[in-house]
């Protein structure tokens, strides 16, 4: 047995040594050559960077930016874990309080992340899949090539208009074809950024399959939103003529197929993500409720509850969502969820205020006064205390 041990260890060492180069040599995982401290090289690129610098100054000073705590640092840490510390050196991250599922990156290395993305992501891996996609645009210099393609298209359509007028020829079809080719170009860029983001995930250890799950989840939310608005949900594999992005279904299927050929990856780090976002969750939920999209917001709340259970925070948010819509049945359910939130440990005095206002609209004056008085006792100096006192006096 003692003789076998060195042999086994040698075999294992050889296997590990061979596995590394095999993955590194896999063309599906190759990354572009990194250029540290990259500077714009042409007149067009320098102009784009000047515009990006100005836009970044606006983001930096925007009142929508979440400066509190270490949220921006955490998001940047996730990106750095995905693309590597060296590549990450060129990036600044700004988190903006906008309840939209999106992020974007400017050619100068400025990344804008919206809180709607942070609310919807269920793990670091899901967040990383979107951040990696945006970093892919940045590393592939899509801003510059997109700018040149747009300018070429505008130049050609302008010349066509002149020549058409001179020759009295209808050029409508040709102009449409030119515009369609430009939008096809932008869709190709999006698909290329998707694949690049997938390579970052596969090489970083985040599970690559997560990227497709993000788009499956987006489609399910879209379905819930459509149903909430009384419409029939539809998904298409093929993009429209003038769509700038592939459809969600197309992206999910392409990413699933590509991820199946890559290493399985490690942990999605869902617990770490929930812990990092927890201090900001009430703010993210409040912004989402103001979209007044009941179907989508209820879907997001249910998705969060599937991970953590229906906490007091989530029940309060659900009550606020239905109170905002304000149908009689909504008010009835909202009052139930406010009470459930209290039973689950939600203790903010605003619960009594909003429960009281809900009961008042539902014709339950006695219970409403009791709740509103409890709010006034807890928050005698609140900015809305005078208004609440007037309401209570009116309902005596």
Q: Average of pLDDT values for 26-53?
A: 86
Distances (CA, A) of 263 to 162, 180, 197, 246: 54, 36, 14, 25
Measuring CA to CA, which residue among 91, 184, 195, 94 is closest to residue 138? 91
Tokens of 36: 């540290």
pLDDT at 212 over 80: yes
Per-residue pLDDT tens for 294-348?
999 999 999 999 999 999 999 999 999 999 999 999 999 999 999 999 999 999 9
pLDDT at 18 over 70: no
pLDDT at 5: 43
Checking DSSP bridges between strand 103-105 and strand 92-96, what pairing results, if any? unpaired
pLDDT at 384 over 90: yes
The region of weakest confidence among 35-39, 63-67, 132-136 is 35-39
pTM of the model: 0.86
CA distance 326 to 315: 17
What 3-state DSSP class applies to 136? helix
Q: Average of pLDDT values for 184-210?
A: 93
pLDDT at 28: 66
pLDDT at 126: 98
CB pairs under 8 A, 24+ apart, for 38-42?
38/90, 40/107, 42/144
Helices 210-228 and 172-204: angle between axes, nearest 10 degrees:
130
Per-residue pLDDT tens for 133-159?
999 999 999 988 888 888 888 888 888
pLDDT at 206: 96
Q: In what order do the strands lie in the sheet with 103-105?
A: 92-96, 110-114, 103-105
E strand or H helix at 2? none
The total of other beta-carbon atoms located within 10 Å of residue 246's CB is: 21
pLDDT at 25 over 80: no
Handedness of CA 253, 259, 260, 261 (dihedral sign): positive
């Amino acid at each position: 047995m003692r003789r076998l041990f060195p042999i086994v260890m040698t075999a294992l060492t050889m296997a590990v040594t061979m596995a590394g180069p095999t993955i590194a040599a896999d063309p599906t995982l190759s990354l572009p050559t990194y250029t540290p401290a990259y500077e714009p090289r042409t007149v067009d690129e320098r102009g784009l960077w000047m515009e990006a610098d100005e836009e970044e100054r606006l983001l930096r000073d925007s009142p929508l930016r979440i400066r509190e705590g270490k949220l921006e640092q955490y998001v940047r840490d996730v990106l750095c874990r995905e693309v590597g510390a060296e590549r990450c050196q060129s990036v600044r991250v700004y988190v903006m309080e906008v309840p939209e599922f999106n992020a974007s990156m400017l050619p100068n290395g400025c990344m804008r992340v919206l809180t709607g993305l942070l609310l919807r992501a269920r793990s670091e891996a899901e967040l990383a899949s979107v951040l990696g996609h945006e970093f892919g645009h940045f590393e592939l210099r899509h801003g510059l090539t997109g700018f040149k393609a747009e300018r070429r298209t505008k130049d050609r359509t302008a010349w066509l208009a002149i020549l058409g007028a001179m020759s009295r020829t209808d050029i409508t079809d040709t102009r449409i074809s030119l515009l369609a080719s430009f939008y096809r170009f932008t869709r190709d860029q999006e698909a290329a950024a998707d694949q690049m983001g997938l390579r970052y995930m596969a090489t970083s250890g985040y599970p690559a399959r997560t990227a497709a799950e993000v788009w499956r989840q987006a489609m399910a939310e879209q379905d819930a939103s459509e149903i909430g608005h009384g419409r029939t949900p539809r998904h298409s594999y093929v993009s429209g003529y003038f769509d700038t992005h592939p459809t969600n279904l197309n992206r999910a299927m392409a990413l699933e197929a590509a991820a199946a050929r890559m290493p399985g990856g490690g942990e999605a780090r869902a617990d770490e993500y929930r812990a990092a976002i927890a201090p900001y969750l009430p703010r993210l939920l409040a912004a989402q409720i103001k979209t007044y999209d009941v179907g989508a917001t209820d879907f997001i709340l249910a998705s969060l509850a599937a991970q953590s259970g229906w906490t007091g925070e989530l029940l309060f948010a659900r009550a606020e969502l239905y109170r905002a819509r304000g149908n009689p049945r909504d008010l009835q359910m909202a009052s139930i969820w406010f009470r459930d939130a209290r039973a689950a440990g939600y203790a903010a005095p605003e619960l009594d205020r909003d429960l009281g206002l809900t009961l008042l609209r539902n014709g339950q004056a006695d219970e409403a006064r009791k709740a509103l008085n409890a709010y006034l006792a807890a928050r005698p100096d609140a900015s809305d205390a005078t208004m609440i006192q007037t309401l209570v006096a009116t309902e005596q």
